[in-house]
Structure 1
Amino acid sequence: MTDAATLPVVDISGLASADAAERRAVAAALDRACVRSGFLYVTGAQFDRALFNRLLATARAYFAQDSAAKMASYIGRSANHSGYVPVGEERFAGSPVDLKEAFDVNNDYPHDDGRRPLLGPNLWPAMPGFRDGVLPYYRHLSAIGAQLFGAFATALGLAEDHFAPHLRHPPNQLRLIHYPHAPEADDRPGIGAHTDYECFTLLFATGPGLQVIAPDGRWIDVPQRPDAMVMNIGDMMETLSNGRYTATTHRVRKVPDERYSFPLFFTLDYDYVVAPLIPGDGTRVYPPVASGAHLFHQTAQTFAYLKERRARGELVLDDAMPPPGSFGRREAAAA
């Protein structure tokens, strides 16, 4: 079902302005959109389309390689959860195996201190030009993400630079996702239903397939808009806003045609303690949780190589952490 009217559109061009009033106007529009819907479209003069096209060309070339070439950078060999994700590696609880392959890119830190499993040097593939096709896009969108954090701070009644000291070493992740041509995938999920774990996500995709849960619990399609990126609220922003914004459950369904998708997930520094920043109505209590610990805890319950480490006793998770599915809207019950 398509219901484009459900998703608001926000022009964030004003966030690049030196005029504080223009930035506040964008923050107010962003606040209204996020209260109304955990998913929205964002447009802006600051988006560089040439970098999007370069990223897409890089992804096409990478995923066209044979399996052996791609598996040389298998994510299970990395120190910071970066690298190639083959079909079947990732599975959300209660969902079938995802029909996709991916390459995950994190902040490329030169050192790994051994305490933060999502920080460290990326496991880059040997393919010539891959890094040069990916990093400029990552850095470009990261700068826009910092502007959006300023807008969220303003929208929540905080100083515009409230989050700035906590954006020095965030475990932001860019995923290059490839949904292969699969005519038999009429009712097989590309990605099962889930919320994103981080604060918010910016998504660039090449084709339809994304669905979200509307406020009334219906699944609706997210139509393609060539002039806009899709943005959605994640678990941590739901917590930070004390439920003012809701992480919206989404999935990718019915992808018979080849599709590429490039979400960049934005979060705060690994050790930042995520807790409500504004008063709530008292109907729900969000326990504080360290940003990176929450992210890794959720990730370790999805990826096969991390599940295997848990089974061998090499990785122990904190049972006090919120389990997957703790956030967001729920699907309406079948009649």
Structure 2
Amino acid sequence: MNQREIAKLAGVSSATVSRVINHDPSVSPETAARVNEVIAKHGYVQNVIARSLKMANTKTIGFLVPDISNPFFPAVLSGIEAVCAKYRYNMIIQNTSEDRLREEAALETLLKQRVDGLLAILVTRDSEQLAKFQAMNIPVVLIDRLTTGGEYDSVTIDNAGGVAQGIEYLKRLGHARIAIIHVPTDISLGEERLNGYRLAMQEAGLEVLEEYIVNGNAIEEGGYLGAQELMRLPAPPTAIFAANNLMTMGAYKALADARMAIPKDVSLLGFDDFSLAGYLSPPITLINRPTSEMGRSAAEMLFERLTGNSERPVRQVVLPTALQIRSSCAQPKHSPSM
């Protein structure tokens, strides 16, 4: 929808719409309210503003990150920065703190800043804000997490395959009572990893017990509480699979606080490497993924769009994971409860 169409619906001129958008005090409050009501109803507030502002390329891209304190995301950022430097582009980073409202505000801010492209790691799967970028022909590449609305280039990993690698390894060690502390399933990777756990357990001929499935909310505290809950069961698991790095740290701390020996009392397997994982006692076995490569691949895909290949079909790149064997998993023994 353009200014002329908004003007027609509001019963004013296109020039008046422009003045309202730019907060011209000469427009009466009644007229401004009528125009703003039409804009808000049709969901084009920032779409219209950005169209009026975007005169030329700004040599800037936006990077939407859900939790800059999580070591996974700075690792992705390092890959993006290398590509931005090659193309002499600047980057505006917006941290949403895993909050949907902050994500909406961040996307609006990036539109106001007239970014030429967007790299996004979303909080939820149904972000409607991305449609505004698409409507303005601003290329978007999703990283790590997918959305249910629209078709966008993306770079993700084989989440289900990574979980299967972990389950197969634990089974080879002799584990049958394998629990998972999972990421919320309203995030695409959370659903993929939990479904991957169920499928891998079934394919391994192992029973899936619902009490062995705990939502850790993708945070350290969730991993801590999840491990406590699992080890207090009458028949606790012999192995815990924590489905992201923060929950792995939380589970490790809970087991240490309970004076449970890893892996003598219970094995611990994580997902996503982190800087301390190899230096803990014992070092943590985990499913690793190419974090920096995810950032590089996504940025290269974005600049491919920006530098002339904007009409090519949507591409979805899925990168492999790798099992990093350290010392936190061993053959199962009887595990005392907490």
TM-score w.r.t. structure 1 length?
0.22
Structure having the higher helix fraction is 2
Whichever of the two has the greater Rg, that structure is: 2
TM-score w.r.t. structure 2 length?
0.21
